[in-house]
A and B are shown apart, each in its own frame.
Chain A
Amino acid sequence: DVKVTQSSRYLVKRTGEKVFLECVQDMDHENMFWYRQDPGLGLRLIYFSYDVKMKEKGDIPEGYSVSREKKERFSLILESASTNQTSMYLCASRGRVSTEAFFGQGTRLTVV
Chain B
Amino acid sequence: QKEVEQNSGPLSVPEGAIASLNCTYSDRGSQSFFWYRQYSGKSPELIMSIYSNGDKEDGRFTAQLNKASQYVSLLIRDSQPSDSATYLCAVNINGGYQKVTFGTGTKLQVIP
Contacts and interface: CB of A to CB of B under 8 A. Distances in A.
B80 interface: no
Nearest to B41: A106
B101 A45 contact: yes
Interface string B74-112: 000000000000001010100001111111110000000
Interface string B11-32: 0000000000000000000001
Interface stretch (A62-70, A73-81, A94-102): A94-102
Contact of A40 (B8, B45, B46): B8
Interface of B: 8, 32, 34, 42-46, 49, 88, 90, 92, 97-105
Interface residues of A, number: 24
A93 to B, nearest CB: 10
Nearest to A35: B102
Given A40-B8, A40-B104, A99-B49, A31 B98 contact: yes
Contacts of B98: 31, 48, 50, 94, 96
A52 to B, nearest CB: 14
Contact of A43 (B42, B44, B45, B92): B44
Contacts of A28: none
A42 B97 contact: no
B103 A42 contact: yes
Interface of A: 31, 33, 35, 40-45, 48, 50, 56, 58-59, 90, 94, 96, 99-101, 103-106
Contact of B45 (A59, A96, A103): A103
A99 B104 contact: no
Central interface residue in B88, B97, B98, B103, by most chain A CB within 10 Å: B98
12 contacts: A42-B88, A43-B102, A44-B102, A48-B97, A56-B97, A94-B98, A94-B100, A99-B34, A99-B49, A100-B49, A101-B46, A101-B100
Most buried by B among A35, A41, A99, A106: A99
A42 B102 contact: yes
